[in-house]
Structure 1
């Protein structure tokens, strides 16, 4: 364990208040620079400044002294507030939870239990990256239950994430005894403390070397890959080519909206008399450029790999994000293909998990998107990471049929022909299969979709009939999981198949939950015969529902 996971209270990076409230600092600097720029133009080029300049007003009124006094008082107040905010913002990591205390006038105390952790995300925004700082967010099951540590040193954040995941895995290590001396880390080469004090030249060289080492380390951290070579394989399992990334952004629903807006703008200019339409649409078109640039930069350097503590997903060019999803925290998986992507064979993978990161995921999408765009081969590799039981050839064939098959005798139990009254185009592809401890639901013909739900994560299953489906001897089936972008529902299914699905899934979910130990994954190696325990931090499936 590092010194930050010793159970004692610690403070964040000293620059945390400035980095969190940096927008106000940059606003103040922008105001000062704008006025200095006008004065520089006046002195160099002789261009008169506009009337009403704040600095001129202060000088003409003879209030320079008062202005400097007020500015100094404001800076002192800001400095005191930042210092108090930093001193009152502390955290600790114990064997049971991660706790954060903050606030000056109004105190708050947030606690994240280790057994409810759904993921640990390290975000490095552009400005904090320049200072070697990072934000660590612990995602926990529950509404608004996440805990953020903003900011820590970049290396300390990586080490603390490793310790939190190790504790959450069930592994325990003895902590240092109170009063026990801890060996200090050796000073870096060129540190002034190692240089003789009586040699001024050597001291100057040492300071210069220390400055060079600091600059080198900052550049190294800025250019470092999102996958830590010490914790994950050096190569990402899936890589997204730049042209594919650009194509996925262009052929999206937002592009359709932009195209309609451009057509409306052209028509308004040709026809005339619609200036209000020009005013309403043109700013949005300008903003859409920033949207495309943001999605592109946030998806660059995408990486995904398996570690001993779960699946690690990283992405981002300027602001980077690197999240670790521990085993047993994924409740549902959705593989989708929009109609515009079908000629290229592209797919997207989203997941449901009990906790949600407050930061955007790849391509600026929800943090539940683990593969923004990929081929069938990429989909198979990612599914093998997040569902290790689907690495066999039989499961690969079943997944392929669930994605591209048009229906028929392909391993899925499909809807009957009479379902065409309600699903005239997609009834052939509507069906389900159960394999390797998971349920597969296949649906959609224009926008194809395959949903996989691990039985150990299932909450309940229900089937219901309305008057129309009762007449057609059909039913609707739904597998209930935690809230997320993936919905495990089949709109039409034969009544007999719906009952069989209910019985099979209910029995399989209970059996899988009793034998699952992924919630404490490190104990598998320590105990060859682990005692069965509930698998899901939010409760395993044990309920079935039938309505008519």
Structure 2
């Protein structure tokens, strides 16, 4: 891409390292049917190119051409077909944001402050109630506009995500770049069977503005989440895991969540579970394990406890078996290192076999 008038700049991206090609429409650009095209390759911010602005049809055509070239197809083949597999209705999105643990807690605090202030000092505490109530309202409005009409479609080049109210975005999650996956279940969501699915994607998560690129779905029922996860981790049944729980003495280190702490593994992946109020289930394929660590904090050592960490790429999914029996944690860590080594030896690698890439 060439840019600049006074200072000319030329940048090139290697297609074999291409991670995503996104079409983004800020509100002002939507008025004039324009869009920006963001191309990203492995390497963080240095591997990102933004082309602003093109007519919407040209932006979509450019995206199709680049994706076709990156997949080794002819540029005239057009965009790969897709099939919509999930859609998040605005009503469900709004309800999920209201029922999230942090939001519900702030709203409850607002109600308590308002009632307590009115009963003791009259209406003088209303400004404080507006402050505590305004924070969750702002959070809800921001995320509602960001993930409005969230749609997930399956295509040969990965999972395509479309979302946004004021600024619409079209993203592609390449399956081969997914390093780890996590399910988040706040307390009030569990009665409704809702979960949020998050990802660690290679090359994503280095900046604060990349948070939306680690969300596979902001909320969905477990059946839909299982369908989406099956596309990312084929052949894996996340409900068929034999969990190994933390010992009962872990209650002295973590009195609230100790009963939820556990690890599990299969021939394909390692999993960790934590959280009682907000439950978190984290999964990493053995072949995507970067390193394995065992840590013993000053409060764990007297209780003969240790935490086991299976490191992945940067992102929201952190696979940690908290407060396990120390001997058990060390044994599982050594075994996980062996499983990771064997899996990497037989893994097909970053790119599927048979793919040809042009630079």
Q: Which residue does 2:25 correspond to in 1?
A: 124
**What pairs with 1:331-480 in structure 2 (closer than 5 Å)?**
331-356=179-204, 366-390=212-236, 395-398=237-240, 411-480=242-311
Give TM-score scaled by structure 1 length: 0.57
Shift of 1:137: 1.3
Q: Which residue does 2:51 correspond to in 1?
A: 149
Q: Note closer, same or farther for the CA distance 1:345–1:117 as it changes in structure 2 (3 Å cut).
A: same
Q: In 2, Cα distance between the equivalents of 1:266 and 1:109? A: 62
2:261/2:273 contact within 8 Å kept: yes
Q: Which residue does 1:114 correspond to in 2?
A: 15
Q: In 1, Cα distance between the equivalents of 2:127 and 2:277? A: 36
Q: Does 1:239 align with 2:87?
A: yes
Q: In 2, Cα distance between the equivalents of 1:466 and 1:285? A: 37
Shift of 1:294: 4.2
1:477/1:489 contact within 8 Å kept: yes
Q: Note closer, same or farther for the CA distance 1:248–1:131 as it changes in structure 2 (3 Å cut).
A: same
RMSD over aligned Cα atoms: 3.3
Shift of 1:417: 2.8
| Secondary structure in 1 matching 2:103 | helix
Q: Note closer, same or farther for the CA distance 1:513–1:297 as it changes in structure 2 (3 Å cut).
A: same
Shift of 1:332: 1.6
Shift of 1:230: 5.2
Partner deviation per Cα, 1:197-242 (whole Å, 9 max, x = no partner)? xxxxxxxxxxxxxxxxxxxxxxxxxxxxxxx995211xx2223234
Shift of 1:377: 0.7
1:425/1:445 contact within 8 Å kept: yes
1:113/1:140 contact within 8 Å kept: yes
Q: Does 1:315 align with 2:157?
A: no
Q: Note closer, same or farther for the CA distance 1:264–1:445 as it changes in structure 2 (3 Å cut).
A: closer
Q: Does 1:519 align with 2:350?
A: yes
Partner deviation per Cα, 1:168-207 (whole Å, 9 max, x = no partner)? 34x265x99xxxxxxxxxxxxxxxxxxxxxxxxxxxxxxx
Shift of 1:306: 2.0
2:296/2:307 contact within 8 Å kept: yes
Count of aligned pairs: 351
| Secondary structure in 2 matching 1:383 | helix
Query: Normalized per residue, which structure has more strand?
Result: 2
Q: In 1, Cα distance between the equivalents of 2:108 and 2:254? A: 30
Shift of 1:261: 4.3
Q: Note closer, same or farther for the CA distance 1:468–1:302 as it changes in structure 2 (3 Å cut).
A: closer
Q: Which structure would you say has the larger Rg? A: 1
Partner deviation per Cα, 1:343-373 (whole Å, 9 max, x = no partner)? 2221111111233388978xxx633111111
| Secondary structure in 2 matching 1:295 | helix
Shift of 1:265: 5.8
Q: In 2, Cα distance between the equivalents of 1:108 and 1:517? A: 37
Q: Note closer, same or farther for the CA distance 1:283–1:419 as it changes in structure 2 (3 Å cut).
A: closer
Q: Note closer, same or farther for the CA distance 1:328–1:504 as it changes in structure 2 (3 Å cut).
A: farther
Q: In 2, Cα distance between the equivalents of 1:429 and 1:152? A: 50
Shift of 1:466: 3.7
Bigger relative contact order, structure 1 or 2, given CA contacts below 8 A and separation 6+?
2
Question: 1:139 pairs with 40, 49, 55, which one?
Answer: 40
Question: 1:251 pairs with 96, 99, 103, which one?
Answer: 99
| Secondary structure in 1 matching 2:95 | helix
2:262/2:322 contact within 8 Å kept: no
2:106/2:133 contact within 8 Å kept: no
Q: In 2, Cα distance between the equivalents of 1:339 and 1:329? A: 31
Give TM-score scaled by structure 2 length: 0.83
**What pairs with 1:23-42 in structure 2 (closer than 5 Å)?**
none
Shift of 1:467: 4.9
| Secondary structure in 2 matching 1:442 | strand
Question: Which 5+ residue runs of structure 2 have no aligned equivalent?
Answer: none
Question: Which 5+ residue runs of structure 1 have no aligned equivalent?
Answer: 1-90, 92-100, 177-227, 402-410, 527-548
Moved more, 456-465 or 236-245: 236-245
Q: Note closer, same or farther for the CA distance 1:427–1:279 as it changes in structure 2 (3 Å cut).
A: closer
Q: In 1, Cα distance between the equivalents of 2:251 and 2:298? A: 16
Q: In 2, Cα distance between the equivalents of 1:427 and 1:255? A: 23
Q: In 2, Cα distance between the equivalents of 1:420 and 1:508? A: 30
Q: In 2, Cα distance between the equivalents of 1:150 and 1:301? A: 24
